[in-house]
């Protein structure tokens, strides 16, 4: 918008409209006395709540260039950024450009263009005003208009449907797309848009959505670095680096993460056995419940929390899974088993049609019953009900391990020593898995 001197001149000649606001800047020293803080915040908010636009600083209401003194440009820029950050709620991040425009044969004037994008949220000034740009003016929203706008913007900002601006369609795996959609005569670009695997960004470029990249990306973590699982095994009951047996980062697509995380638990959980009448194994965890717990963590975590990963810890007596993102207002820890909330609706829709590469079974076999299955199957297996805890913007699930039959029988009982499920001769098996690096 307004990328050339000619386009700027044309707008100045045409006057203010839905996308253009002119503001003369008056200073006393380096202090901006006009426009005042609340007035300028209101212009920013009104544009963000509409379709975006540009504020021309250094131009009077009639479109005549007054300019900003060259020595004051930086001060005016800092003033604009400060108001956008501290006097708009939520903060607005404008793009600010300094432009020099000829106003005579040997004379130039400096103006600032403050470009505001259409907001993902509904904004207000810290003075409490909800404003909207209508034509060349701004006005307060009525309560009905505010309610509708909040509903529209709230639905529009579903994080897993947002474009990943650093990624391109080429970052999707053709093989994975063909495996999911099959061969089709529909042009690939149209198919991706119709299924929301990809959408257009603000500049009209086709980008993978967050859900599209997580499911079909060739290397999703190149663009979504936190979308992975940190897994670790400890030989004790506490988080102590001296007792760390093995750790690894589990990444790839969400399907690969789920399968690999379940395989991680299966590999490192203890598998005591008895030979009273033939061999009988006593795995620490019910893998069906483990699978459901990992699927829930991957499907429902908050991917907008940058730098926070799912964490999976195996201790000698329990498993803990930490998932980024708090509970929505409609759900509490007590109602979690009985209420359904889907934070990532597009991602869940994809997962409901995908199958585990380990088992061939659907990743999401039921809707709304996952938490109850985790609680009931784990309690039936170990004799102790799992526990959910909330730590700020993170949900923890603790699944207790099934006690070893040897602990009940004592040292004199007949049977075999505990071992891992995949390497019974491993010397580290008695503490949950093989030796490894941290």
What is the full DSSP assignment across 208-252? EBHHHHHHHBSSGGGT-TT-SEEEEEESSSS--GGGEEEEEEE-S
CA distance 389 to 327: 11
Average pLDDT in the 177-199 region? Answer: 90
pTM of the model: 0.64
Q: How far from chain centre, in Å, is Cα 333?
A: 22
CB 227 within 8 A of CB 221: yes
CB 112 within 8 A of CB 98: yes
Looking at the predicted structure, is the pLDDT value of residue 425 above 80? no
What is residue 328's predicted lDDT score, i.e. its pLDDT? 73
Q: For 367-398, what is each residue's pLDDT tens digit?
A: 668 899 999 999 999 999 999 999 988 999 99
What is residue 326's predicted lDDT score, i.e. its pLDDT? 86
Write out the two tokens for 138.
């701004």
Domain with CATH 3.30.950.30 in the chain: 5-156
Task: Let me know the angle formed at the C-alpha of 205 by 202 and 210, rounded to the nearest 5 degrees.
Answer: 80
What is residue 98's predicted lDDT score, i.e. its pLDDT? 93
Q: For 310-333, what is each residue's pLDDT tens digit?
A: 999 999 999 999 999 988 767 889
| CATH numeric code, 229-431 | 3.30.565.60
Average pLDDT across the chain, whole number: 87
Q: Which CATH superfamily is domain 5-156 in?
A: Schlafen, AAA domain (3.30.950.30)
Q: Of 278 and 206, which is predicted with more confidence?
A: 206
Domain with CATH 3.30.565.60 in the chain: 229-431
Q: For 81-139, what is each residue's pLDDT tens digit?
A: 999 999 999 899 999 999 999 887 778 899 999 999 998 788 999 888 999 999 999 99
Average pLDDT in the 250-271 region? Answer: 95
CB 386 within 8 A of CB 399: yes
What is residue 75's predicted lDDT score, i.e. its pLDDT? 92
Average pLDDT in the 46-75 region? Answer: 93
What is residue 9's predicted lDDT score, i.e. its pLDDT? 92
Q: For 35-50, what is each residue's pLDDT tens digit?
A: 999 999 999 999 999 9
CB 292 within 8 A of CB 258: no
Looking at the predicted structure, is the pLDDT value of residue 348 above 80? yes
Helix runs in 57-209, H state only: 73-86, 143-156, 174-181, 188-194
Question: What is the band of 421 on the pLDDT scale with cuts at 50, 70, 90?
Answer: very low
Write out the two tokens for 243.
């007792």
């Amino acid at each position: 918008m307004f990328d050339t001197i000619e386009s700027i001149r044309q707008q100045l000649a045409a006057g203010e409209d839905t996308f253009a606001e002119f503001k003369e800047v008056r200073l006393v020293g380096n202090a901006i006395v006009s426009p005042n803080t609340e007035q300028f915040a209101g212009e920013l908010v009104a544009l963000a709540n509409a379709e975006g636009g540009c504020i021309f600083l250094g131009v009077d209401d009639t479109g005549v260039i007054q300019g900003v003194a060259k020595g004051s440009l930086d001060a005016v820029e800092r003033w604009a950024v400060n108001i956008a950050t501290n006097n708009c709620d939520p903060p607005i991040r404008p793009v600010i450009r300094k432009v020099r425009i000829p106003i005579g044969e040997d004379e130039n004037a400096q103006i600032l263009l403050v470009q505001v994008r259409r907001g993902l949220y509904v904004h207000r000034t810290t003075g409490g005003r909800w404003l909207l740009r209508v034509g060349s003016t701004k006005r307060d929203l009525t309560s009905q208009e505010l309610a509708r706008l909040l509903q529209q913007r709230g639905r529009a900002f579903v994080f897993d449907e947002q474009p990943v601006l650093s990624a391109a369609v080429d970052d999707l795996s053709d093989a994975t797309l063909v495996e999911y959609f099959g061969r089709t005569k529909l042009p690939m670009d149209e198919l991706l848009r119709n299924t929301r695997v990809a959408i257009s960004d603000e500049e009209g470029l086709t980008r993978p959505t967050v859900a599209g990249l997580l499911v079909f990306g060739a290397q999703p973590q190149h663009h979504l670095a936190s979308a992975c699982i940190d897994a670790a095994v400890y030989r004790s009951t506490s988080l102590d680096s001296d007792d760390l047996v093995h750790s690894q980062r589990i990444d790839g697509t969400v399907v690969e993460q789920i399968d690999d995380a379940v395989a991680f638990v299966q590999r490192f959980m203890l598998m005591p056995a008895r030979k009273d009448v033939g061999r009988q194994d006593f795995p620490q965890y019910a893998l069906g419940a483990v699978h459901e717990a990992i699927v829930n963590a991957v499907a429902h975590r908050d991917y907008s929390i940058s730098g926070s990963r799912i964490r999976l810890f195996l201790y000698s007596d329990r498993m803990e899974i930490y998932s980024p993102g708090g509970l929505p207002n409609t759900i509490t820890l007590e109602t979690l088993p009985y209420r359904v909330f889907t934070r990532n609706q597009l991602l869940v829709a994809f997962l409901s049609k995908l199958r585990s590469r380990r088992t061939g079974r659907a990743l999401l076999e039921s809707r709304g019953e996952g938490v109850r299955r985790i609680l009931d199957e784990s309690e039936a297996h170990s004799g102790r009900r799992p526990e959910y805890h909330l730590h700020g913007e993170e949900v923890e699930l603790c699944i207790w391990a099934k006690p070893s039959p040897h602990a009940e029988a004592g040292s004199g009982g007949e049977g075999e020593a505990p071992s891992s499920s995949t390497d019974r001769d491993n010397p580290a098996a008695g503490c949950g898995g093989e030796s490894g690096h941290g």
